[in-house]
Amino acid sequence: MKIQAAVIENAGDPFRITELELDEPKKNEVLVEVVACGVCHTDDVARNQIIPVPLPAVFGHEGCGIIKKVGPGVAEFKEGDRVGFSFGYCGTCKACRTGRPYGCRENRRLNFSGVSYDNTKRLMMHGSQVSSFFGQGAFATHAVVHVNNLIPVADDIDLKMVAPVGCGIQTGAGAVLNYLRPGPDSSIIITGCGPVGLSAVMAAKIAGCTQIIACDVVPSRLELALELGATDIVNSREVEDVPAYVKELSGGDGTDYAIDCTGIGACVRQSLNCVHSLGICVVLGATQELTIHVENELMGPGKTLVGLVEGCSNPKIFIPQLMDYYRKGMFPFDKLIQYYDFKDINQAFDDTKSGKVLKAVLCMKWQEEIND
């Protein structure tokens, strides 16, 4: 079938919406009419080939939509179902079999190599194959998606709001609720108050952390962090020695936990030095290089420095949990979102990069069109 999709042909190009040919769904796949898709930093770094993805490609990996057709072998979904998209995983390796799909041995192939589960591609442009990001390619009007990537969405949830949960939001929240699992008497500093960091702030409040410190350089983001559950804020542009300041805030020793969402090596080091001995520092940002004094900053004080993938989430379980927290008013992630028409995709990326918006979501169909 013919669809409209935003294509990147060369590294760093602006997105160009054009007509592509999309194949029928194959075994364990469905055809989805895409309603909305979140704009994520991972799309941008892959578009610029910092994370190599075969080009030309259709990016977009935080999609959601309505199933229009099911392929052979699909039993858990049917035509008309509302679904969100998340990352792909094989379902058969040791990590997947033990409930840890975020550690799937096929993670890179299924999410970054541009191919579907069966190692083939579904998109064509001018007779040549086009890659799909994360097995989705959700910057498009339609996508063929494997059932492993799909999460059912209940009827009482605005479908287009689910779009950004499949990657960034579950990553921030999952780092707290799935990995750290802090006790109610614990303290945490979260550096980088974008959508990932603010999701971690909300999750820390759900977990009952006594002290939640938010660190950023943008005052409006710090104000929102306070609204979402932070007990203290630090503008690192105004504080000369952040670790010293955080230790003072936390009673002298530092925090139990730190989460760094910036992707900046110096900020990761700063976060590591904010936790006390035996503390844990989690890296969520796509950080390239980091230099630390291992004895003084890590091994000597017995700290843990760990990088996490997708918030250690099993999306089919965790995303419905987050939606339940949202229903109860405990996880108001809708405060992070600003919607854009699909045709304004380049503006959405520019506004995200400049910090004008926290979480841009592209709408291929508005709610009134869905109801029609």
Whole-angstrom CA distances from 332 to 79, 271, 292, 294, 324 are: 30, 26, 36, 39, 11
> Residue 368: its pLDDT value, please?
46
> Residue 315: its pLDDT value, please?
96
pLDDT tens for 257-293 read 999 999 899 999 999 999 999 999 999 988 888 999 9
| 315 φ, ψ (degrees, to nearest 5) | -55, -35
Which run of H or E residues covers position 322? helix 315-327
> Residue 370: its pLDDT value, please?
47
> Residue-wise over 61-92: b if at least 16 C-beta within 10 A, else e?
bbbbbbbebbbeebeebeeebbbbbbbbbbee
pLDDT tens for 56-72 read 999 999 999 999 999 99
Q: 332 pLDDT exceeds 90?
A: yes
> Residue 153: its pLDDT value, please?
97
Roughly what angle, to the nearest 10 degrees, separates helices 195-207 and 219-228?
A: 30
C-beta atoms surrounding 164 within 10 Å: 28
- The mean pLDDT value of the chain amounts to 95
Q: How deeply is 153 buried, as exposed, middle or buried, from its count of CB atoms within 10 A (0-12, 13-18, 19+)?
A: buried
Average pLDDT estimate for 113-131: 96
pLDDT tens for 162-172 read 999 999 999 99
What angle (nearest 5°) sits at the alpha carbon of residue 327, between those of residues 321 and 328?
95
> Residue 366: its pLDDT value, please?
58
> Residue 68: its pLDDT value, please?
98
> Residue 88: its pLDDT value, please?
96
Tokens of 266: 């110096």
Q: Which domains does the chain show, CATH number per domain? A: 2-153+332-371 (3.90.180.10), 173-308 (3.40.50.720)
280-289, 305-314, 332-341 — which is least confidently predicted? 280-289
Average pLDDT estimate for 104-112: 96
DSSP summary character for residue 179: I
Average pLDDT estimate for 175-197: 96
Q: 150 pLDDT exceeds 90?
A: yes
